Structure 1
Amino acid sequence: MKSSSGNENLIPNAWDDNYANGFSQAQLLEYRSNLLGSDMRVTNFGGGNTSCKLLSDDPLTGEPCQVLWVKGSGGDIGSMDLSGFSTLYLDKLIRLKDLYRGEAYEDEMVDLLSHCTFNLNSRAASIDTPLHAYLPYKHVDHLHPDSVIAIAASANSEQLTQDIFDGDIGWLAWRRPGFQLGLELEKVARENPKLKGVILESHGLFTWAESSKECYELSLAIINKAQLWLDTQLTQVEAFGGAVIESLASDQRRLIASTLMPLIRGKTSAHQRQIGHFSDTTEVLEFVNSHELKPLANLGTSCPDHFLRTKIKPMVLDCSQETGGLEALVSNLDSLLEDYRADYEAYYNRCKNDNSPAIRDSNPVVYLIPGVGMITFAKDKATARIASEFYTNAINVMKGASGVGEYVGLDEQEAFDIEYWLLEEAKLQRMPKAKSLAGRVAFITGGAGGIGKATAGRLLQEGAAVILADIDEKSLEIAEKEFSQIFGDDVVRTVLMDVTSEDKVNSAFRFASLEFGGIDIVVSNAGIASSSPLDETSLENWEFNQKILSTGYFLVSKAAFSHMKSQSLGGAIIFVASKNGLVASANAAAYCTAKAAEIQLARCVALEGAPMGIRVNVVNPDAVLRGSKIWTGKWKEERASAYKMSTDDLEEHYRQRSLLKRNVFPEDIAEGVYFFAADISSKSTGNILNVDAGHAPSFTR
């Protein structure tokens, strides 16, 4: 979408008076916040904060009082609703000034914020609360726009601020967010009543006004003014000193990334299992291909929000032909990572204080690859994606700052003091315990069918990221939509795949590596079923069963084994076979034989995988009629015919046949798959779990 001026770099005014008509002041704050947070050029996920000061009735006295509404700790202005705002008595916040003992004690002020809570609001106040509370204005925006931070991160940012904004915007030297910065921000605003806002060096922008709409439009005006000035200046210089390498073709970039990501993941997951994200946007490629890549990357980011997501600095990986290509990079990856970790540990030891928390994971978050793009790794997909978005913001900032002068990264000691801030450590310690499959990636064939979908839902509940592979495109679309609505877009991917095609299977596994960084769990579940007397079973039907149920399982196992082997993280492969693999059924020779082959294949793979920690187990369903695709076609009619009964009677027949007199559902099979996928079965491989409500002929022995 272009702005009214026609410059696509400008942020368009999206305020809709008709939509906002009748909103309360609090609802207008929410509306303004969501609009500002909807554009990553304005502020990224979780970055910045907005506030307003409203007159409300005290729930105890009934008397009107001033209440500060401000984004609470951990919120995101782009997606939050009113529950995401902290509400605090303004007069109590002002009285906190009398308790402030000075800069050396400012962290203790954070605990006092809870004593100012209005109306028992459970949303914790953030460290930025004083920055809003003490400004003598009703509405305040604090944002991290790329265009403004490019100015804020320039060596001559104070002079640029004066030149560009002609006295409308003030400037404050770098200071870590907190109580002292709030007091300094108040001082500059009160002493300069004509100011419309303030730029914080290496940090971001504050603007203020007397209504939500005015504040929103002022923020956009300042951001766009900075962007227009930058655009004019940058036309006169070559971005990042120009390109020294050309981007590879898209398919080559994706192939290299999908090759590297499982390797990196395997070598950097000792501290925590990681999920990856790949980006090869125009902005990223322009930077990684440039002359100034290494010197600028080594400086790190400037804005604290960028830094906390992306670490002190990225790692540059070169796979150009001049350095030996991809093969040489793969060979040197261990030593390159060791060098990065040693450098990070040296940074920690140089900067640590007596009370600093213990060193955290010393592996990189951001990997920059000339000609290819950017890879990010984090504890989950959303965090990895957000880290990529933040570093893209940092690239935009570096482009602007280096194009108009000298870019200045965050001072090393300041960076450390933020990364290892005791308040930040306390926040990390309050994080909920990770779910049992957090950081794991599951690949499910037949993922759009009853058992596949039930399995996907069970693994997603436990924190896994899931790729659904199926030959049914429409059903895949439906499944992806359903799961995304429940679990979010980040953790669900779908891929169209035919298990009988080696090329398509390998391509699907490369897709999984590119999307999530690797694979930990493979559920081989795709299947069909057919029934006919032996003398009526055609060779075509026999081969069709073998092709999908035997060859298909082989191809999926082979690809899974190869990927898990390259990761060196072990893994779990689960075959969804059938009780027919253990006991024969009349009129089903092709099906039973193929299912028996699956079970024997699982045993073979278990033998080969054990030395590498790759576990292979089998779940044997029986008579899963509801939700299962194989029971919607001829198989149901054929089995009913074999038992000389109506299809309507078949489910009851199977229930009565079972020892427990119970029906078996897709969710029951999913529970068995989860058991073998999770660490609770870490000492099980080569095993068979029958989920059939009891079928004596199928007892394993």
Structure 2
Amino acid sequence: MNYKKEEFKHVNYLWDDEVSKPLTGVDSLVYRSNVLGADQRITNTGGGNTSAKIMETDPLTGEQVEVLWVKGSGGDLRTAKKENFSSLYQEKLDALDDTYQKFDDKGPKSAGEDAMIPMYKHCNFCLNPRASSIDTPLHSMIAEKHVDHLHPNAVIAVASCKDQEALTEVIWGGKMAYVPWMRPGWEAALLCEEIYAKSADISGILMGQHGHTNWASESKSCYETSLWVIETAARYIEEHDKGTNTFGGAKVDSLSNEERTALLSKFLPVARGILSNKVKFIATVQSDESALRFVNSVDAPRLAKLGTSCPDHFLRTKIQPLYVDYNPEQDDFEALVAKLNDGIEQYRVEYAQYYNNCKRDDSPAMRDPSPTVILIPGVGIIGWGKNKSESRVTTEFYNCAIEVMRGAEAISEYQALPQQEAFDIEYWALEEAKLQRMPAEAPLARNVVVVVGAGDGIGKETAFRVAREGAHVVCADLRFEAAQKTADELTSIYGQGIGVAGTGISGCGPAIALEVDITDRSAVKAMFDQVIMAYGGIDNVIVTAGVFLAPGQSGMSNDQMFDVSFAVNVKGGYIVATQANEIWQAQGLKGSMVLTTSVNAAVSKKGSLAYDTSKAAANHLVRALAVELSPLVNVNGLAPATVVKGSTMFPRDRVIASLTKYDVEFTTADSDDELRDKLAMFYAQRTLTKSPITPADQAEAAYLLISGQLSKTTGQIISVDGGLHEAFLR
């Protein structure tokens, strides 16, 4: 290695001897993988492989045998654990050479290459169930203890140049060999094995259009060699960087942050609706300096049309993005939408032509021909996926593709994979099998559900209920801290969406927290704008926020109680519904809304005049909104009865007042939960089911109303009251 630790500028040197020293065997391999994956400039999410050949005790013979541990299919280096690595007897892998020779190799889509993959199972050590990567033979055939196969932007930039072979010699001074593009598999590994065996003085191999492989006898040395390969390429690119002339210079000026946000808040729902002609998509926006430099540039249309080069990239981004020829200084919003419509229509036609021109007899059926990446000058990059994680990674991968193109254009001329080669990867039977093995999507996996009042009680329980069905949950509440707590709890269960450092890619995951006062239209609009920027649109809105004000406890006059009760319980729902409807209409996608009312709307009780009449009005608001928002949006009401547990409407003093009113025994030493349980049991005895009514009961009904299972139900009030016969319809 030619660089000291502190000299690295284009990668992070993260190896810590104190951490690594006590680690042995697979644990050491996992550590190397994690520190490599921690730097996004080194390899893509889910991309790259690391391996180590380790002596293990055979469980049958008790003898020492050499075992190849290699990151398995579908794993990610940054987060990999031992269970993400496959383990195979090295001796059995060696024996598969003879097996490969028996297969009839008929070209890039050869049955022989595909038939080798199932053979790896026969080599598994200790019945390890982790599926082996297609790069397994590459790690097996390089006769070094430690091997890294990576996809760094700087190296792929060299591998995507017109004169990539000559540059390999120039940049790495003969320390890197070169092989032209070959589909990953046994044949490519055999070629690398031959080069390795003949060239004792090389440290690695540049693989055309793909990445690089390097090796060492020690794990730390292998790590440092990987960094040396990347740093050397990045420095060469830096020396030839074109500065302001990168990508031919700027053709369009960027919008200001405020202008861009205002445009996107209108545009994203429209784009989501146009794209979602078959299934719905979730968006991720990237508008940082590097993204804008590319989309604003003279060369962006040309390079975008060429498409991506690395297979890891276009499996996510499709063979090319959609470039929208938009100029913010000349085109208005309607022009942008028209150009998007025309662009998507043409993209789908061209994608179908690409499929039909390249398909083979055994090719899987054509997938959705819509673009997954949209480039808009002055605005940035919009990535789309089935969920936030996928759209974020798609955007990340195209960001990597931009860096590859930048580097290639700086030192030579960028070239993409030929369409047939790209197709053979995109529609490879093994990739299709991987897609088919994926678990079925959860019912709400592609939905964005806004829960207003998610800080506690029914709202919090509802947020958890819809999250279990795969929804992206917006936890909105008047109290931001309470909303954030709910979102944090959901994130701890369902995972963290992590933005990519330095890319401007948003990092929201399955849940976000937002503050909102539903009596303030500007606050509600601002909340929905943030939802759009996070996910691209909305699907379902559930309002559980409400207020109960009792005489003598609220400190308000009767007039004030009416004003506040109607402002929150009636007008608040109206404001949320009408603001949400603007988004639903822009999307043109079916939506649903649930407003929480109360059985008190039908059963009047002494001491709750303002509350009861406001909830009666809310019931009619449900019916009126169902008419106004039809046929696109279903609107229904959820009418709970005396949900004491977890409700802010039942503070200790109100609970004590109610227990006293109904002569229910209690002591001042009772805890808040004990007091609430006593009151809940009292209320339960007045119902037909004799069971306390919980937030979970309400959440189940709220979920049912947005799930699609009641798609023909609108304008209805569903009572979840344990069976209060006084509230029966008359």
TM-score by length of 2: 0.93
The counterpart of 2:391, out of the listed 381, 384, 391, is 384
State the AA in 2 paired with 1:559.
Q
1:462 aligned to 469, 475, 489, which one?
469
- Distance in 1 of aligned mates of 2:577 and 2:417: 48
In structure 1, how many angstroms separate the alpha carbons of the residues matched to 2:175 and 2:555? 90
Q: Structure 2 matches for 1:152-191, cutoff 5 A?
A: 152-191=159-198
Deviations 1:394-422 (A, max 9, x none): 11111110111100111111111111111
The 1-side partners of 2:116 and 2:278 are apart by 33
Q: What are the within-5 Å matches in structure 2 for residues 428-443 of structure 1? A: 428-443=435-450
Kept after mapping to 1: 8 A contact 2:242/2:410:
no
| SS, match of residue 238 in structure 1 | helix
1:532 equivalent in structure 2: 551
What is residue 27 of structure 2 aligned with on the other side?
27
- Alpha-carbon distance, 1:290 to partner: 0.8
**Preserved CA contact (<8 Å) 1:442 1:465:** yes
Three-state SS of the structure 2 residue aligned to 1:629 is coil
Are residues 1:196 and 2:203 paired?
yes
Task: Name 1:249's counterpart in structure 2.
Answer: 256
CA displacement at 1:642 relative to structure 2? 5.1
Alignment of 1:116-515 (within 5 A): 116-234=123-241, 238-321=245-328, 323-489=330-496, 490-515=509-534
Instruction: Work out whether 1:684 is the aligned partner of 2:713.
Output: yes
Going from structure 1 to structure 2, the CA distance change for 1:386 and 1:547 (only over 3 Å counts) comes to same
Question: Cα offset for 1:568?
Answer: 1.0
Quote the residue 1:110 is aligned against. 117
Q: Counterpart in 1 of 2:502?
A: none
Task: Summarize deviations over 1:208-259 as a string: whole Å, max 9, x none.
Answer: 0111111111111111111111111115772111111121111221222222
* Aligned mates of 2:368, 2:223 — CA distance in 1: 39
Contact kept? 1:498, 1:505, Cα under 8 Å: yes
> For structure 1, which segment, 625-634 or 511-520, has the greater mean C-alpha deviation from structure 2 after superposition?
625-634
Aligned twin of 1:587: 607
> Which letter does structure 2 place at the counterpart of 1:408?
Q
Counterpart of 1:623 in structure 2 is: 642
Q: Look up the match of 1:669.
A: 698
| Alpha-carbon distance between aligned partners in 2 of 1:217 and 1:598, rounded to the nearest angstrom | 66
Q: Separation in 2 of the partners of 1:542 and 1:607? A: 26
Question: Aligned partners of 1:323, 1:112: CA distance in 2, in Å?
Answer: 59
Whether 1:558 aligns to 2:578 is: yes
Scaled by the length of structure 1, what TM-score is found? Answer: 0.97
Provide the C-alpha distance between the structure 2 equivalents of 1:278 and 1:193, rounded to a whole number of angstroms. Answer: 47
On the 8 A contact 2:8/2:231 being kept in 1, the answer is: no
1:538, distance to aligned residue in structure 2 (A):
2.6
Tell me if 1:80 matches 2:99: no
Partner of 2:723: 694
CA distance in 1, matches of 2:159, 2:48: 15
- CA distance in 2 between partners of 1:296 and 1:365 (Å): 17
Distance (Å, rounded) in 2 between the aligned partners of 1:441 and 1:540:
36
Q: 1:519 aligns with which of 512, 532, 538?
A: 538
SS at match of 2:626: helix
How many Å separate the matches in 2 of 1:697 and 1:584? 10
Q: Distance in 1 between matches of 2:15 and 2:524?
A: 48
Distance 1:508 1:535 in 2: 30
Which sits farther off after the overlay, 325-334 or 220-229? 325-334
Distance 2:642 2:187 in 1: 68
1:319 and 1:7 map into 2 onto residues whose CA distance is 42
Taking structure 1 as reference, are residues 127 and 573 closer, same or farther at Cα in structure 2, changes over 3 Å only? same
Instruction: Tell me which amino acid in the other structure corresponds to 2:78.
Output: G
SS at match of 1:631: coil
Aligned residue type for 1:657: R
Give me the whole-angstrom Cα distance separating, in 2, the residues matched to 1:586 and 1:431.
Answer: 56
- Give the match's secondary structure for 2:570: helix
Matched residue SS, 1:245: coil
Take 1:372 and 1:9, find their aligned partners in 2: how far apart are those partners?
Answer: 30
* Cα offset, 1:643, TM superposition: 4.1
Deviations 1:86-135 (A, max 9, x none): 00111111111101123532111011111111100011111111111111
Identity %: 40
Q: Deviations over 1:544-602 (max 9, x none)?
A: 11111111111001112221121111111011211112221211111111111211111
In 2, the alpha carbon distance for the partners of 1:669 and 1:546 equals: 22
Distance 1:418 1:633 in 2: 64
| 1:596 corresponds to which of 589, 592, 616 | 616
Cα distance 1:596–1:150, how it changes in 2: closer, same or farther (>3 A)? same
SS across alignment from 2:226: helix
Aligned to 2:42: 42
Shift of 1:5: 7.7
Q: Deviation at 1:321?
A: 4.1
CA distance in 1, matches of 2:610, 2:689: 29
DSSP 3-state at the match of 1:611: coil
Q: Look up the equivalent residue of 2:702 and give its one-letter code.
A: V
Give me the CA root mean square deviation: 1.9
Letter of the 1:201 partner, please give it: G
**CA apart distance, 1:448:** 1.2
Task: For 2:263, give the aligned amino acid.
Answer: I
Q: Is the 8 A contact 1:529 1:635 kept in 2?
A: no
Output the amino acid matched with 2:70. V
Conservation of the 8 A alpha-carbon contact between 1:619 and 1:669: yes
Counterparts of 1:633 and 1:362, CA distance in 2: 58
Maintained 8 Å contact 2:475/2:484: no
Deviation at 1:637, TM superposition (A): 4.9
Question: Structure 1's 8 and 664: CA in aligned 2 closer, same or farther, altered over 3 A?
Answer: farther
Shift of residue 62 of structure 1?
0.8
Q: Does the aligned pair in 1 maintain the 2:642–2:683 contact within 8 Å?
A: yes
Deviation at 1:632, TM superposition (A): 2.6
- Of 357-366 and 256-265, the range deviating more from structure 2: 256-265
Cα deviations by residue, 1:253-292 (Å, 9 ceiling, x for unpaired): 1222222221121122232221111111221111111111
Per the alignment, in what secondary structure is the counterpart of residue 226 of structure 1?
helix
Q: Is the 8 A contact 1:341 1:362 kept in 2?
A: yes
C-alpha change, 1:554 and 1:636, in structure 2 (3 Å) is farther
Equivalent position SS for 2:631:
helix
SS in 1 for 2:528: helix
Q: 1:445-474 CA distances to partner (integer Å, 9 max, x unpaired)?
A: 011112111111111110110111111122
Q: Is the 8 A contact 2:480 2:513 kept in 1?
A: no
Which digits, 9 at most, give the CA deviation of each residue in 1:27-71, with x for residues without a partner?
Answer: 110001011111111111101111111111111111111111011
Runs of 5+ unmatched residues, structure 1: none
Aligned residues: 698
1:296 and 1:6 mapped to 2: Cα distance? 35
Decide which moves more: 399-408 or 558-567.
558-567
1:70 matched to which residue of 2?
A: 70
Cα distance in 1 for residues equivalent to 2:727 and 2:658? 18
